[in-house]
């Protein structure tokens, strides 16, 4: 299971590799048969999945309605542009605020629950938000969604950066992803990170060594909702619109699948792997067959059956096996030399 | 010289689950620096009594005082802040943490440092040193980096006690600490409890009467949710009711 071990550097080696791939993507995407907009989607969902894994992988709280906060962020950003002409950065801050408020309110009801009751209530609340997004037509545009939210420029006072091109917007999203990664990495290696893992391992014991477990659960859920809101706001910028589909049970299930298939339960980087696998499956399998989701589902089932800890877990086992084998060879060599 | 008041007092405690009365007019007091025992047959209400005293259940009536302060019905996390901790009959550990991490996460410094994102606990030699001292107290030196889930049953029992000591309590409640231990394990645990008495006030629920009679200064016997006898081990051995009950047979074997 997911436990932070040993001293945690501010920037780890894996993180440097991730940042290098992230920041160089537009340079090689074309040659690899990929494209910039795919990169934007992947990075947005990486932000979403990393925040979601704080809840699922680290704290052990399964939310099957997290699409609600993602969607609330998307609508929050859109409404901020339509009614307040808020601009890029204030719009994203408002998207985060919308995700924070929505998830914070829901967490008040959830943080005293656990197990199946917690999971079912996340679904119920998720459905409430989805239903509201469809029914509040005056505010959300109903099933048609919130349209015509054009990408603004980033205004730095002395100069402006246009986000009209996918290249520029990709880098804006990638920089936000770097910040979110650094923040979450630090958080899971801090005393708070240790406490949330303790809550996952044994809620009763955590209470009896003095942790206010409901407050910890509330904080993690709200923080995760805030990051989902931020990611939702970015998706709105990417799509120049917001749709209720992002809040559906199906969409909420997808983020759970991405985190699980990647190995969110055993690695900080599991969600990153899971998002990449999903989008590559969508594009590569999707170019072959319309039934790509069926094949992705089968892939998910196979991974859960043969490597329940996802790709990251499988990779970890492989590395451990290679190490054992090497050690065995060294010992055998030593014995032969003796 | 006047005798100092008891550290922990429970007065007229009542607890019921639905129609079932589990505790009825329970009065207990534990003196600072003593080892107190609570014994009784299965289903007598011992564990419920412990759960009420340590905040897991709110009593339906009565009061609990710790060092003169009313702590009745406080949540476990607030009870711990007051200096009261407990171990469990069924072990409650952080299984994926090492023994050292189990202690670290239970310390007051870590608990009060949740707002410090740049504090790397595992790199903090002071807190590691303190946690290692707690492990040494229960004889787990050398196992600091063992995962709790990989430890033997006896070691896990000791770790369970160590985790409850890590919160720097003044009084520690131990719920059937000999559960599942063999003769050697019980002997080691008795030695450990003897050494802990120098630093903590201890209250033990125990089935093993010999174990309790050997260690406790004072014992309360609970049956049918009531205190039916109280006294020193010698007084209890002479108690008519205890002698003629199943408990009495256990004390003489």
Closest-CA residue of chain B to A212: B77
Give me the mean pLDDT over the A56-81 stretch. 96
Whether residue A265 is found in the same domain as residue A332: no
Q: Report residue A10's pLDDT band, with 50, 70 and 90 as the boundaries.
A: confident
Tell whether the model's pLDDT for residue A335 goes beyond 70: no
Whether residue A317 is found in the same domain as residue A291: no
Tell whether the model's pLDDT for residue A115 goes beyond 50: yes
Residue A4 lies in a domain: no
Residue A248, token pair as written in the block: 């559906």
Residue A6 lies in a domain: no
Q: Which domain holds residue A281?
A: 13-306
Whether residue A301 is found in the same domain as residue A317: no
Whether residue A207 is found in the same domain as residue A323: no
Going residue by residue through chain B, which has 253 residues, state the pLDDT in tens, using 9 for 90 and above.
Answer: 456 789 999 999 999 999 899 999 999 999 999 999 999 888 888 889 999 999 999 999 999 999 999 999 999 999 999 999 999 988 899 999 999 999 999 999 999 999 998 888 888 899 999 999 999 999 999 999 999 999 999 999 999 999 999 999 999 999 999 888 888 888 888 988 988 988 899 999 987 888 888 899 999 999 889 998 899 998 888 887 777 766 655 554 4
pLDDT digits (tens, 9 = 90+) for A39-57: 999 999 999 999 999 999 9
pLDDT digits (tens, 9 = 90+) for B7-24: 999 999 999 999 899 999
Is the CB of A191 less than 8 angstroms away from the CB of B96? no
Tell whether the model's pLDDT for residue A326 goes beyond 90: no
**pLDDT attached to residue A6:** 61
Q: A210 CA to chain B: closest CA distance, Å?
A: 4
**pLDDT attached to residue B249:** 55
Residue A60 lies in a domain: yes
Residue A8 lies in a domain: no
This model of the complex carries an ipTM of 0.90
- Report the C-alpha gap between A198 and B103 in whole angstroms: 11
Residue B249 Cα distances to A199, A284, B97, B209, B243, angstroms: 43, 76, 43, 10, 7
**pLDDT attached to residue B68:** 92
Give the helix/strand (H/E) hosting A126. Answer: helix A115-135
How many Å separate Cα A63 from the centre of its chain? 12
- Report the C-alpha gap between A154 and A177 in whole angstroms: 17
Whether residue A318 is found in the same domain as residue A284: no
List chain B residues with CB under 8 Å of A202. Answer: 92-95
Residue A32 lies in a domain: yes
Number of domains observed in the structure of chain A: 2
**pLDDT attached to residue B246:** 60
How many Å separate Cα A250 from the centre of its chain? 16
Is the CB of B111 less than 8 angstroms away from the CB of A194? no
Q: Which residues, 6 or more positions from A320, have their beta carbon under 8 angstroms from its beta carbon?
A: none
Whether residue A284 is found in the same domain as residue A327: no
Whether residue A240 is found in the same domain as residue A335: no
Global confidence as pTM = 0.91
Q: Beta partners for B175?
A: B205
Whether residue A68 is found in the same domain as residue A155: yes
- Report the C-alpha gap between A181 and A333 in whole angstroms: 43
Mutate to test the interface with B, among A205, A207, A223, A265 (most CBs of B within 10 A): A205
Whether residue A210 is found in the same domain as residue A327: no
Among candidates A1, A192, A205 on the partner chain, residue whose Cβ is nearest the Cβ of B96? A1
**CATH number for the domain including A24?**
1.10.3470
What would the DSSP string read from start to end of B42-92? TTSSHHHHHHHHTTSS--SEEEEEETTEE-TT--HHHHHHHTEEE--SS--
Whether residue A337 is found in the same domain as residue A276: no
Residue A82 lies in a domain: yes
Whether residue A29 is found in the same domain as residue A148: yes
Tell whether the model's pLDDT for residue A87 goes beyond 70: yes
Whether residue A205 is found in the same domain as residue A80: yes
Q: Helix, strand or coil for residue A30?
A: coil
What single-letter DSSP state applies at residue A152? P
Q: Report residue A261's pLDDT band, with 50, 70 and 90 as the boundaries.
A: very high
Residue A1 lies in a domain: no
- Report the C-alpha gap between A171 and B23 in whole angstroms: 66
**pLDDT attached to residue B252:** 46
Mutate to test the interface with B, among A10, A202, A213 (most CBs of B within 10 A): A202
Mutate to test the interface with B, among A58, A111, A191 (most CBs of B within 10 A): A191
Q: A187 CA to chain B: closest CA distance, Å?
A: 6
Residue A7 lies in a domain: no
Phi-psi region of A141 (alpha: psi -120 to 50; beta: other; left: phi over 0): left
pLDDT digits (tens, 9 = 90+) for A276-314: 999 999 999 999 999 999 999 999 999 999 999 999 999
């Amino acid at each position: 299971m997911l436990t932070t071990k040993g001293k945690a550097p501010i920037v780890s080696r894996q993180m440097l590799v991730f940042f290098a791939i992230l920041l160089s993507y537009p340079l090689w995407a074309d040659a690899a048969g990929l494209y910039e907009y795919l990169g934007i989607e992947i990075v947005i969902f990486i932000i979403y999945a990393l925040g979601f894994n704080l809840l699922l992988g680290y704290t052990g709280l399964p939310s099957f309605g997290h699409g609600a906060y993602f969607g609330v962020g998307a609508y929050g950003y859109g409404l901020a542009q339509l009614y307040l002409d808020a601009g890029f950065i204030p719009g994203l801050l408002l998207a985060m605020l919308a995700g924070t408020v929505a998830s914070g309110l829901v967490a008040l009801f959830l943080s005293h629950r656990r197990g199946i009751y917690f999971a079912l209530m996340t679904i119920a609340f998720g459905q409430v938000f989805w239903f509201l997004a469809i029914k509040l037509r005056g505010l959300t545009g109903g099933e048609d969604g919130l349209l015509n939210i054009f990408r603004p420029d980033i205004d730095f006072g002395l100069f402006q950066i246009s986000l009209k091109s996918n290249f520029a917007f990709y880098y804006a999203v990638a920089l936000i992803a770097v910040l979110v990664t650094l923040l979450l990495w630090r958080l899971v290696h801090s005393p708070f990170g240790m406490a949330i893992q303790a809550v996952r391992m044994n809620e009763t014991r955590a209470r009896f060594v003095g942790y206010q477990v409901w407050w910890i659960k509330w904080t993690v859920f709200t923080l995760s909702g805030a990051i989902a809101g931020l990611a939702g706001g970015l998706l709105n910028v990417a799509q120049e619109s917001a749709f209720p589909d992002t809040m559906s049970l199906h969409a909420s299930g997808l983020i759970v699948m991405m985190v699980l298939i990647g190995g969110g339960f055993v690695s900080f980087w599991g969600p990153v792997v899971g998002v990449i696998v999903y989008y590559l499956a969508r594009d590569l399998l999707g170019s072959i067959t319309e039934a790509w989701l069926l094949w992705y589902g089968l892939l998910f089932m196979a991974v859960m059956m043969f490597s329940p800890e996802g790709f990251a877990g499988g990779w970890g086992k492989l590395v451990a096996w290679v190490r054992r084998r090497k050690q065995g060879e060294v010992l055998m060599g030593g014995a032969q030399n003796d | 010289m006047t005798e100092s008041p008891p550290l922990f007092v429970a007065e007229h405690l009542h607890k019921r689950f639905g129609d079932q009365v589990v505790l009825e007019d329970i009065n207990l007091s534990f003196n600072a620096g003593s080892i107190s025992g609570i014994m009784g047959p299965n289903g007598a209400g011992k564990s419920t009594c412990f759960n009420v005293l340590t905040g897991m259940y709110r009593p339906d009536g009565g009061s609990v005082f710790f060092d003169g302060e009313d702590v009745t019905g406080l949540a476990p996390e607030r009870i711990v802040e007051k200096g009261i901790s407990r171990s469990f009959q069924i072990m409650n550990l952080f299984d994926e943490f090492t023994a050292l991490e189990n202690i670290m996460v239970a310390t007051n410094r870590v608990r009060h440092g949740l707002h410090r994102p740049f504090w790397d606990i595992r790199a903090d030699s002071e807190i590691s040193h303190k946690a290692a001292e707690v492990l040494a107290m229960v004889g787990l030196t050398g196992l600091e980096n063992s995962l709790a889930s990989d430890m033997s049953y006896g070691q896990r029992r000791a770790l369970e006690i160590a985790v409850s000591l890590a919160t720097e309590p003044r009084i520690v409640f131990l719920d059937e600490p000999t559960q599942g231990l063999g003769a050697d394990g019980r002997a080691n645990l008795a030695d450990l409890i003897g050494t802990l008495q120098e630093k903590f006030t201890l209250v033990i629920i125990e089935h093993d009467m010999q174990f309790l009679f050997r260690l406790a200064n004072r014992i309360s016997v609970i049956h049918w949710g009531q205190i039916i006898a109280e006294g020193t081990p010698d007084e209890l051995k002479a108690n008519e009711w205890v002698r003629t009950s199943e408990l009495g047979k256990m004390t003489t074997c």
